């Protein structure tokens, strides 16, 4: 049997953790579905730093190793190895006892030096003068390390400020030279953030890896056609083969004012997306809305070159289902609750996690990163109203990074630290456990590329959902009664709060209504998604071959 090879192009920078990205779960499902066929093999082009991460991701998804292979640089750049080693190395802890001892030693030595200084200044005997000066030299050498350590402890904040000023002065002095070097290396004219010289090295490293990937692909031609699951990398268009670029959405342009606070990196990303689409030939997206409104109307792409392939349901029941017990559902719920407590321990501490588990606490759940389009602040406003005015008694569990400035400030301002729990970097098993134990899943997102994963992930483990009324969701939820029960106005926190309160009171009825529709959605599989992509890639490759031969 002839095996046909298809490529997937990935070029995320070293700082991205695919486990926390929606694309990570999408890739797992896609590659696993592709592995079910014996007549095709996936070649994944990737930077060196993503190889281990992708291998672990596919291993968790139980993807056979023989069904895929990697192409691209293998060994990590030396600078990245040094950075990761330094990051992993534990810093020695200096407790209060060490600092007191250091301070005492410093005072003793300083006092002794003062006595010697007075002696040298006041003696009239030449022999005593020489002896004291010699002794002074020895003591000075001994005291230098102690004085240096004490000075570091004493002025750590000053040192940080000075080093930052030095870095900024260096960039101000040599910024144009750095920019010219970057233009030579990357072929672009985008300026790096002026406060981060280190980002210059990472940009060069990232670009170099992509150049090596493109060069190796064009030299060895390991696949007949290539698929890029996002539009972040214009370099994908340099592949000398049939290419299909996925454009899930362009939220940076839809929420330009909100994303502006992220600074120049967002501008660079938007420029890259624009360049990638402008230089692309064929595109695929998850919804008709993104095809028509974003690609055709906003970006001017020929509609004949855009395909729409909706997601298959993203389910998590395989992570929570248990068999072999008298009551499998009760055993599954018990295990999920234990995993929830274990995850809470990471954020709240063991004692509070145990306390919450003993009180059998109830919670709402929203799985998403904290980005402007995710509408987290509106959800927090609705939750604060429900907590303080409607007395619902539920916690709110979020999976975004709690260090996000606007979220942290809102939580502090309204004293919600004990009620809003931010758990970043959950594994898929932990994610499934939170979905299963939640009373209600909520998704207030203002923009998605396709039907939000929240709907099927929550229902697959027995939890009902309420979601924002947005175009891509209405494409899938076409039944008026189901829309009425499920959707709320994402721009109106009161409407959101009312829908959440209603759903909590009518939880079982809502779940049964949504589950009937879920069973219909579940007939579409990820094998269907993969086969549709393969069909598009084959059509593009055949068209390209005909063009070359004519």
The reported pLDDT for the residue numbered 294 is 86
State the DSSP H helix or E strand holding residue 244, giving kind and residue range, or none if neither: strand 242-246
Distance separating alpha carbons of residues 390 and 233, to the nearest angstrom: 47
192 pLDDT exceeds 50?
no
Distance separating alpha carbons of residues 471 and 475, to the nearest angstrom: 6
Give the model confidence (pLDDT) of 77-102 as tens digits: 887 777 777 666 555 555 555 555 55
Distance separating alpha carbons of residues 244 and 282, to the nearest angstrom: 5
- Tell me, letter by letter, the H, E, C secondary structure of 392-461: CCCEEEECCCCCCHHHHHHHHHCCCCCCEEECCCCCHHHHHHHHHHCCEEEECCCCCCCCCHHHHHHHHC
Sole residue written with tokens 């219909």:
520
257 pLDDT exceeds 60?
no
Confidence of residue 255 (pLDDT cuts 50, 70, 90): low
Give the model confidence (pLDDT) of 132-179 as tens digits: 777 777 766 766 665 555 555 554 444 444 444 544 554 454 444 444
Name 243's bridge partners: 226
Exposed e or buried b per residue across 499-515, where buried means at least 16 C-beta atoms within 10 angstroms of its C-beta: bbbebbeeeeebbebbe
Which value, in Å, is the radius of gyration of the alpha carbons in the chain? 29
If you ran DSSP here, which 8-state letter would residue 295 be given?
I
Name 308's bridge partners: 285
The reported pLDDT for the residue numbered 107 is 61
246 pLDDT exceeds 80?
yes
Burial class of residue 124 (count of CB atoms within 10 Å of its CB; 0-12, 13-18, 19+): exposed
Tell me, yes or no, if the pTM score tops 0.75: no
């Amino acid at each position: 049997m002839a095996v046909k090879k298809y490529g997937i192009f990935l070029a995320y920078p070293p700082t991205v953790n695919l486990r926390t990205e929606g694309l990570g779960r999408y890739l797992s499902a896609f590659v696993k579905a592709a592995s079910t066929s014996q007549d095709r093999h996936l070649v994944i082009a990737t930077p060196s730093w993503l190889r281990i991460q992708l291998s672990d991701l596919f291993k968790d998804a139980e993807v056979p190793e023989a069904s895929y292979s990697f192409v691209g640089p293998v060994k990590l750049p030396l600078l990245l190895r040094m950075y990761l080693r330094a990051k992993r190395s534990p810093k020695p802890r200096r407790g209060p006892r060490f600092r007191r001892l250091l301070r005492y030693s410093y005072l003793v030595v300083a006092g002794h030096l003062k006595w010697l200084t007075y002696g040298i200044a006041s003696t009239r005997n030449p022999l005593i003068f020489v002896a004291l000066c010699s002794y002074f030299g020895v003591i000075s050498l001994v005291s230098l390390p102690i004085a240096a350590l004490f000075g570091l402890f004493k002025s750590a904040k000053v040192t940080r400020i000075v080093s930052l000023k030095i870095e900024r002065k260096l960039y101000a002095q040599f910024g144009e030279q750095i920019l010219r070097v970057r233009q030579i290396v990357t072929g672009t004219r985008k300026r790096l953030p002026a406060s981060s010289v280190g980002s210059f090295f990472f940009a060069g490293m990232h670009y170099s890896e992509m150049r090596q990937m493109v060069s190796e692909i064009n030299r060895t031609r390991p696949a007949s056609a290539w698929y890029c699951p996002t539009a972040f990398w214009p370099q994908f268009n340099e592949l000398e083969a049939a290419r299909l670029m996925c454009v899930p959405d362009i939220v940076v342009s839809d929420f330009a004012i909100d994303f502006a606070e992220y600074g120049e990196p967002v501008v660079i990303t938007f420029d890259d997306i624009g360049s990638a689409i402008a230089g692309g030939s064929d595109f695929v997206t998850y919804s008709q809305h993104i095809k028509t409104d974003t690609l055709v109307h906003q970006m001017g792409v020929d509609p004949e070159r855009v395909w729409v392939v909706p997601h298959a349901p993203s389910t998590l029941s395989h992570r929570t289902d248990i068999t072999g017990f008298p009551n499998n559902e009760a055993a599954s719920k018990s295990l999920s609750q234990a995993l929830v407590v274990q995850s809470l321990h990471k954020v709240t501490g063991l004692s509070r996690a145990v306390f919450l588990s003993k009180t059998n606490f109830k919670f709402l759940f929203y799985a998403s990163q904290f980005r402007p389009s995710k509408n987290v602040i509106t959800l927090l406003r609705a939750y604060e109203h429900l907590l303080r005015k409607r007395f619902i008694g539920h916690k709110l569990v979020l999976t975004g990074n709690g260090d996000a400035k606007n979220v942290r400030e809102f939580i502090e301002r309204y004293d919600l630290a004990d009620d809003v729990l931010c758990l970043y970097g959950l594994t898929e098993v932990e994610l499934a456990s939170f979905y299963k134990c939640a009373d209600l899943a909520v998704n207030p997102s203002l923009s998605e590329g396709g039907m939000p994963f929240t709907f099927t992930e929550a229902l697959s483990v027995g939890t009902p959902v309420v979601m924002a009324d947005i175009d891509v969701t209405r494409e899938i939820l076409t039944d008026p009664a189901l829309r009425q029960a499920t959707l709320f106005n994402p721009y109106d926190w009161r409407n959101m709060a009312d829908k959440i309160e209603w759903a909590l009171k009518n939880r079982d009825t809502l779940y049964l209504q949504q589950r009937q529709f879920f069973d219909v959605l579940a007939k579409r599989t990820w094998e269907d998604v993969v086969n549709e992509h393969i069909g598009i890639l084959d059509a593009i490759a055949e068209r390209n071959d005909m063009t070359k031969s004519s």
